[in-house]
């Protein structure tokens, strides 16, 4: 009887933890796409101009990326493609690194990009190997940004002609409707990508006033709690 009771308590505890994980912050419909143990469900692009040899490790339940050798980056992509979705992901940036979250990416890394760089225009919507009809900037970012800590990005992309919204730490940064489909061949779905930007050799003058062009040696970008909700 005592063994059965212990087993029931253990099962109840595990179930409670699972329910808590599924209902994180009142969420419904989100599914984790990173198991916090390995890169199952992900792969490195072998055709990206960013490079093909970034250092990618799993540390304390997070994906940790850095260039390897110095100046060589790359893009880590989901195996699965998505069309309309909401993506939530926590990010921690070292200073003087350059990364991004790619949405609707192809294998070569052509995508819309949510910029990740400190200093720089973190939270901006850019294009990587495509030209968005409209770009956006997270002008209110400094009001919510937690320096040297984890920050949550919530990205919503809907429609063949993309309607894109960004929240950081629960606060709306921007929302826009593109006037046309900017993707190569009018693609309406693509992969989620995590970028480790290639860079020139770092020096105090390498950026020429634009720190995004430099990557500090041994700087890292970290990603965790990656979950997605597919939308109709």
The tens place of each residue's pLDDT in the chain, 232 residues long, gives: 444 444 444 444 444 444 434 446 568 999 999 999 999 999 999 999 888 888 999 999 999 998 887 767 899 999 999 999 999 999 999 988 889 999 999 999 999 999 999 888 999 999 999 999 999 999 999 999 999 999 999 999 999 999 999 999 999 999 999 999 999 999 999 999 999 987 654 444 444 444 445 577 788 999 999 999 999 8
CATH superfamily of 33-230: Exo-inulinase; domain 1 (2.60.120.560)
**Cα 76 from Cα 206, distance rounded (Å):** 26
Q: Residue 24 has what pLDDT?
A: 64
Domain boundaries, the chain: 1-28, 33-230
Beta-carbon contacts of residue 122 (< 8 Å; ≥ 6 apart):
93, 115, 116, 138, 141, 145
pTM of the model: 0.85
């Amino acid at each position: 009887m005592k063994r059965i009771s212990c087993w029931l308590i253990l099962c109840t505890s595990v179930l409670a933890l699972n329910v808590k994980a599924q209902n994180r912050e009142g969420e419904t419909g989100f599914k984790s796409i990173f198991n916090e143990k390995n890169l199952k469900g992900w792969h490195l692009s072998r055709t990206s101009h960013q490079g093909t040899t970034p250092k990618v490790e799993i540390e304390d339940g997070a994906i940790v990326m850095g260039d390897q050798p110095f100046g060589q980056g790359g893009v880590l992509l989901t195996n699965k493609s998505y069309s309309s979705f909401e993506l939530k992901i926590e990010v921690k940036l070292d200073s003087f690194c350059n990364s991004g979250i790619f949405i609707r990416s192809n294998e070569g890394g052509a995508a819309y990009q949510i910029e990740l760089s400190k200093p720089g225009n973190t939270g901006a919507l850019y294009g990587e190997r495509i030209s968005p009809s409209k770009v956006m900037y997270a002008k209110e970012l400094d009001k919510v940004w937690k320096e040297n800590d984890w920050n949550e990005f919530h990205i919503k992309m809907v429609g063949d002609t993309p309607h894109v919204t960004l929240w950081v730490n629960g606060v709306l940064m921007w929302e826009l409707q593109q006037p046309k489909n900017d993707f190569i061949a009018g693609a309406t779905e693509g992969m989620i990508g995590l970028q480790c930007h290639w860079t020139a050799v770092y020096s105090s003058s390498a950026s020429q006033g634009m720190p995004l062009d430099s990557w500090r040696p041994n700087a890292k970008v970290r990603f965790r709690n990656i979950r997605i909700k597919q939308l109709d």
